[in-house]
Amino acid sequence: MTAAKGSIVTDQTPREFFRELVVGVLAHRKLRVQESTEFYLVRLLERFLEREGLRRLGDTSLFVAGFFGDSLARSQVDAGYYVGMGERAYQALAASPGPAGAAETFGEMSARFEVFVDVLAEIAEMQELRSNRGLLRLYERFLHTGSQRVAEQLRSRGVALFAGPGSRVLSN
């Protein structure tokens, strides 16, 4: 029996719940699939309820947003999508039973997700700053995001900023 939207399911295992949903959608769409494919879809959904699935989702979101944030700005899915997904994954982990200290760690990961994205971005930028191309990419990131942290890195490399946050207007 499928629960009403927003209610908590207590009389089904996650596998039973997801199987009912998968079978229902397949029937609604008049799709016929192999039994093994149906089972695979059910297990895929079930695994994302497990701690490892949520952790992998949060970790992947953090890594992608941190190391590839500037590339995401040019894609259909921006960094905000990854930030939201990562925050919610870590939030769910914080609320689920786990090893001692895990709730606090994942709670902080969720609450300060964007700060940690910035930490990973700075690590990635440290590698980029060793070349002119990397410096140009950092400048493009500053133009796109207006990040004060990026502005400080550019200034420390001798780049004068005349527009955007952290800029200094020169007067004669």
Residues 65-86 pLDDT 10s: 888 876 776 777 788 888 999 9
| Structural domain boundaries in the chain | 14-47, 51-156
The C-alpha atoms of residue 121 and residue 106 are separated, in whole angstroms, by 20
Among residues 127, 120, 159, the alpha carbon closest in space to that of 142 is found at 159
Residues 142-172 pLDDT 10s: 887 788 888 888 888 778 787 555 444 444 3
Residues 87-141 pLDDT 10s: 999 998 998 888 888 899 999 999 999 999 888 887 777 766 666 777 787 787 7
Region 32-57 average pLDDT = 86
Tokens of 138: 């950092």
pTM of the full predicted structure? 0.58
The C-alpha atoms of residue 125 and residue 110 are separated, in whole angstroms, by 23
Instruction: Tell whether the model's pLDDT for residue 24 goes beyond 50.
Output: yes
pLDDT for the residue numbered 87:
94
Q: How far is CA 12 from CA 17, 39, 70, 80, 88, in A?
A: 6, 16, 43, 34, 24
